[in-house]
Structure 1
Amino acid sequence: MFRGHSNRSLDPKGRLMLPPEYREEVLRLVPEGRLMLTNNFDGAITGYPMPAWEAVEASFQAGNKLDPRIRDIERFYISGAMEVALDKQGRILIPPYLRSFAGLDKDLVLAGVGEKFEIWNQAKFEERRRQVGLRFDADLAALAESGVTLRL
């Protein structure tokens, strides 16, 4: 599991050094260090170890291909995916397309979200956390009304 968040820097070549605990988790799941990066729906990049990515792809294969919403989501998510691998220093090269999509510059945030992690432009991440904090209680109440229970 990927947890927590940390401020990171992107080097001039577009490489990101993963923190030791993330590198260990990736290598535990995928000894050759392969990851899939894709654009996500929040304007950031999501990184998946290959087994978790394969489950994402399988879920699309099981979907109803006649539903244009599923096709559009699949097109957005799968077509944005790029395979990368950890180098010997524990870095990943973020492809230019994904750097541009997420507005990544030198300062970014790596955020663990369970079986995957996200790579954010630092300013966008901080603004998003601020917005979530402002509506936190209202969102929890609305989820509870719809039958969703979260243990916090």
Structure 2
Amino acid sequence: MSVERGSLRLSDAAATLALGAELAPLLRAGDVVTLSGGLGAGKTSLARGVLAALGLAEEAPSPTFAIVQPYAPPDVTLPLLHVDLYRLDEPGEVEELGLDEARLDSALLIEWPERAGPGRWADALALTLAVEPDGARRLTWAAPPAWGARWRPR
């Protein structure tokens, strides 16, 4: 069982939001989606697309300062934690957030997953966003076997 990899170009912010909306119905409790990329690459925009497609009426705030922003029904159709690990100083701090327990009944969207240390969330759909010279975004992904049959971006 191998990891499936690929990439696609997201021409603008609307395309990034649309990709999030495409991802939303694929999510299940227990899933982890990691969002990597530099500042301004579109990680939060992609997460906002997911949350809007799950029914969130207002624009989701960036969880940079809260670190963990939970969403639950009736605001969304699936319990989800939007997590931003940017402000963590060391990987051990992740344990204090209770994310493994939260996976029992929620999906996790995790920005800056590299702050959690190598090897964490090996079963995650790993998405990386990068800004291209013309301002578009390049999305690359690694989909482990658990995601292989579900993740087919257009």
Q: TM-score, normalised by structure 2?
A: 0.30
Q: Which is greater in Rg?
A: 1
Structure that is richer in helix per residue = 1
